[in-house]
A and B are shown apart, each in its own frame.
Chain A
Amino acid sequence: MQPIANRMLNYLQPQMYAKFTMLANQKGCINLGQGFPNFPSPQMMRDALSEEAQTESLQYTMTSGHPKLLHSASKFFEQQIGCKINVDKEIMASSGAQAVLSCVMQGVLNPGDEVILFDPAFDLYRPMIEFQGARHIGVPIIPKKLNNKQEIIKRYKDGKFQYSQDDDWELDFNYLERVINKKTKLLLLNSPMNPIGKVFSTEEYNQLADILDRHPQVVVCEDAAYHHITFGKYQPFNYPRCITHPRLKDRTVCVTSAGKMYSSTGLRVGFAVGNEEIIKGIKAAQTYHIFCLNPVIQTATAKCLDQTLDGKYFQSVKNLYEEQANMLLKGLVDSRLNMNYWVPQGGYFVVTDISQIQIPEKYFDDNGNRLTRDFAFAYYMINEFGVVCIPCSPYYENKQLGQNYVRWAFCKTTETIQEAINRLK
């Protein structure tokens, strides 16, 4: 007689990122796995937290968020994203984008509802969908082509890789239309996308809007956790978004992360912005989820948003991340590993194809269970190269497809990336 609820049975092992971070620490590896910056958080965040700790109330505050935070966030997003936000009805704060997503799922999904995910989809989405008794459907996004070292190095100029059509990962819209049906309630879209760094284009959103016009019950959840990190022609916050698309915005809830924006993944402040009705359901979920957030971290975050309203801070952060992305990609291209590559358009990560790599057979065995290729590769990297990356099959419904990819984080110091590159030479 076991006491644990059935919904949790598949999720009792330490979560993947935690597991690989532990391994990284144990074995003295360079950790390019879990997506947290290892450079210092901005002093303005520390100072704000410290100041607010002395003066702000430490009692319950409003469930939907501290008024100062909601006002600052609304103002910031209005200025940087160009959307209009009713601060009483169209925005809510929660304990990181993770908690926001959890409230979105609870607020919107009935048992039996279907949710469309674009694979590779962040692996924390699927459990949350299941916990609401809903069903997730993976629609794969597929690279247009494989770029080997020789091909991709041609696009390397002045320390930067030039993004081209050869780096596109494409959505099969026909496939999408086939899997959408009356039961589809939610479509989850992540842009810039973890792990591939894809930024969806306006044309893609137009096509999506065409399809969704025929399915008016579908809500779009736009995960914009990396909306401040967009490369090439895109500016921070300023790239094609569902929350600003004329035909998608009214059915969209946009999820963002103040923690990621301020390179402080432990902050645990995130936002939902969007349709009043959706926000209403999310606020109700939040009430019973965590009741309210700590006021000090909220007013400190508000201070940071106010201080960075002109966006300059984010320009320099984006430039930093772009440099690190190029540094890491070059290192992976120069490495002794025979992989295939794509230039990311944003986010924290690059993904490589590992289908050509010779992985020693022993790494495919985990206590008698046969591991997928990506996990075997990840353990091979840990044990023989001393570098941690993240296997991508958990991001896919189709594990056969997903097992060809692994993810590398570039939100790391130059020293860290260089050390990783040295170990991979």
Chain B
Amino acid sequence: MQDNIIADRMAPYLQLQMYAKFTQLAVKNSCVNMGQGFPNFPPPQFLRQAIAEEALTESLQYTITAGHPRLLKAAADFFEKHMGVKVDTAKEIVASSGAQSVLACVFQALLNPDDEVICFDPAFDFYRPLIEFQGAKHVGVPLKPGQLNSKASILNRFENGKIKFSKEDEWHLDYEYLEQRINAKTKMVILNSPQNPIGKVFSVEELDRLAEILEKHPQIIVCEDAAYHHVVFGGYQPFSYPRCFTHPKLKSKTVCVTSAGKMFSATGLRIGFAMGDEKYIKAIKSAQTYHNFCLNPVLQTATAKCLEQTIDGQYFTEIRDLYEEQSTMLLKGLLESRLNLHCWVPQGGYFLVTDISDVDIPEKYFKDDQDGHQLTKDFAFAYYMACEIGVVCIPCSPYFENKELGSRFVRWAFCKTTETIQDACNRLK
């Protein structure tokens, strides 16, 4: 066999993916894993129970490509109630194998080769390959923190062990830069809110501004990645925060992507949804036909059961409170660590990000131990943490088109037990 078996598009992506790699390293070095975004506390018993029950009775044959009718109805009912939208289950919603698979289908359904997609950096590092695989081009428009916060200034803001998001924590979008990068080829804008990794929740004003710009470019579709829509802090309620999908000037051009796995703290569930105008959903369903054909019916009816059982939202208020406590605990620990980090209070999601430009990192960590190539500061920091401090975090340059900018940041996950977070904080003291 010759050397060039693998398709060219895959060539940059043959190494073990970053999260898997750092999880492996965490295990190998017995680190506390604050890297990959999965909860390490038990998923709800009602989910296990639902799967166990449905496994005994639900059909195990092919079901409808768009999703099991019970699941689509339960999801539509749930989202209608908590997001205040109307969803036609026959036309405006489709289920796929996790938000990941939904995104893959969305891009396949809507992107032609040479189309351009705007990502707001730091943008989840899976978007770019998915865009490339459709022959399209990704354009990074960076968000930037309004200021670097000293540890003292944030610590001062704590009251009774709690801290509120304030202007000092904001990351801003440069709208002029955005307008410059948009052109006739721009087909899509991806907006992740709450945003992985910085925890930003876009405001109504920001969405208004985006809407004005997009009015001038009617071919642009908004892909709203709302995987963390149940984890919003401060004044926001779960599911109830400014969304493109409910914004009067954006909703008709938005495909909203959500994750039942994340909602139920079971990232391995692999059930996600796309909702939107019929014309988009029709094409996404077609992509799904050839992608997965259909999902496992047991997982779908079990998820439906869970959505039905939690429709009053009480479960999500409790979960959100838990995550908010954990985020505060981790933030405090990072502020009290011996590392000279700059922090911001997140507004939601699973993660917070710190600026590491003032941290001294031993030179050896700047060289990749496999092939000796030069690493960016964020990767050097991550290896320094994994090897000497015993805590795994995720380097953020992969989230940025501008690696120089991105190499200043690393991401820490707070979707972890108190024990785990305390252990990490102890090691960082």
A contact set with B: CB distance below 8 Å: 1-8, 11-12, 15, 17-18, 34, 36-38, 41, 45-47, 49-51, 53-54, 57-63, 95-96, 98-99, 102, 106-111, 124, 127-128, 131-133, 216-217, 219, 250-251, 264-268, 275, 277-278, 280-281, 284-285, 287-297, 300
Contacts and interface: CB of A to CB of B under 8 A. Distances in A.
A107 B62 contact: no
A49 B297 CA distance: 12
B293 interface: yes
B79 interface: no
Contact of B63 (A60, A111, A124, A266): A266
Nearest to A251: B1
A58 B266 contact: yes
16 contacts: A4-B280, A5-B109, A7-B112, A8-B108, A54-B52, A59-B266, A95-B101, A95-B270, A98-B291, A102-B292, A110-B9, A124-B289, A131-B108, A266-B296, A277-B6, A288-B129
B126 interface: yes
A131 B6 CA distance: 16
Contacts of A264: 60-61
Contact of B290 (A131, A250, A268, A291): A131
Contacts of A60: 19, 36, 38, 267-268
Max chain B Cβ within 10 angstroms of own Cβ: one of A15, A108, A251, A294: A294
A277 to B, nearest CB: 5
Interface of B: 1-2, 4-10, 13-14, 17, 19-20, 36, 38-40, 43, 47-49, 51-53, 55-56, 59-65, 97-98, 100-101, 104, 108-113, 126, 129-130, 133-135, 187, 218-219, 221, 266-270, 279-280, 282-283, 286-287, 289-299, 302
Nearest to B134: A5
A6 B112 CA distance: 7
A41 B58 CA distance: 10
Nearest to A57: B268
Contacts of B130: 288
Contacts of A292: 268, 270
Contact of B20 (A62, A108, A250): A62
Nearest to B297: A266
A3 B270 contact: no
Contacts of A284: 6, 10, 13-14
B56 A108 contact: no
B10 A107 contact: yes
A4 B106 CA distance: 10
Contacts of B111: 5
Given A59-B267, A95-B97, A294-B268, A3 B110 contact: yes
Contact of B279 (A4, A17, A37): A4
A171 to B, nearest CB: 23
A159 to B, nearest CB: 28
Contact of A297 (B266, B282, B299): B299
B61 A46 contact: no
Nearest to B279: A3
A58 B43 contact: yes
A5 B283 contact: yes
A46 B134 contact: no
A268 to B, nearest CB: 5
**Most A C-beta atoms less than 10 A away, residue of B47, B113, B287:** B287
B268 A275 contact: no
A11 B290 contact: yes
A58 B48 contact: yes
Contact of B270 (A5, A124, A219, A293): A293
A46 B135 CA distance: 42
Given A280-B6, A291-B101, 17 more contacts: A3-B221, A5-B112, A7-B108, A8-B287, A17-B62, A49-B52, A53-B52, A106-B133, A128-B290, A132-B7, A281-B14, A288-B100, A290-B292, A291-B126, A294-B268, A294-B269, A296-B268
Nearest to A280: B14
A284 B111 CA distance: 21
A268 B291 CA distance: 12
A45 B296 CA distance: 13
A358 to B, nearest CB: 34
Contact of A277 (B5, B9, B61): B5
A277 B2 CA distance: 10
B5 A290 contact: no
B280 A61 contact: no
B43 A219 contact: no
A59 B266 CA distance: 5
Nearest to B96: A290
Contacts of B38: 59-60
Contact of A108 (B6, B39, B294): B6
B294 A266 contact: yes
A46 B55 contact: yes
A11 B288 CA distance: 11
Nearest to B299: A294
A292 B55 CA distance: 20
A289 B268 contact: no
Nearest to B59: A266
A287 B9 contact: no
A197 to B, nearest CB: 20
Nearest to B45: A54
A15 B14 contact: no
A267 B295 CA distance: 8
B55 A49 contact: yes
B1 A216 contact: yes
A12 B287 CA distance: 9
Nearest to A95: B292
A259 to B, nearest CB: 8
A79 to B, nearest CB: 25
A262 to B, nearest CB: 8
B223 to A, nearest CB: 12
A145 to B, nearest CB: 35
B59 A217 contact: no
Nearest to B61: A36
Given A5-B134, A12-B282, A288-B126, A58 B17 contact: no
A295 B110 CA distance: 30
- The residue in B135, B270, B283 that gathers the most chain A C-beta atoms within 10 A of its C-beta is B270
A275 B270 contact: no
Contacts of A265: 60-62
Contacts of B270: 95, 290, 292-294
Contact of A250 (B1, B63, B266, B269): B1
Nearest to A291: B100
A96 B7 contact: no
Most buried by A among B51, B62, B98: B62
A8 B17 contact: no
Nearest to B39: A59
B238 to A, nearest CB: 20
Contacts of A17: 62
B108 A106 contact: no
B60 A45 contact: yes
A47 B280 CA distance: 39
Contacts of B297: 266
B226 to A, nearest CB: 17
Nearest to B188: A3
B289 A11 contact: yes
B62 A266 contact: yes
Contacts of A37: 61
A51 B48 CA distance: 10
Contacts of A63: 17, 20
A6 to B, nearest CB: 6
Contacts of A18: 64-65
B10 A106 contact: yes
A50 B268 contact: no
Contacts of A109: 7
Contacts of B65: 15, 18
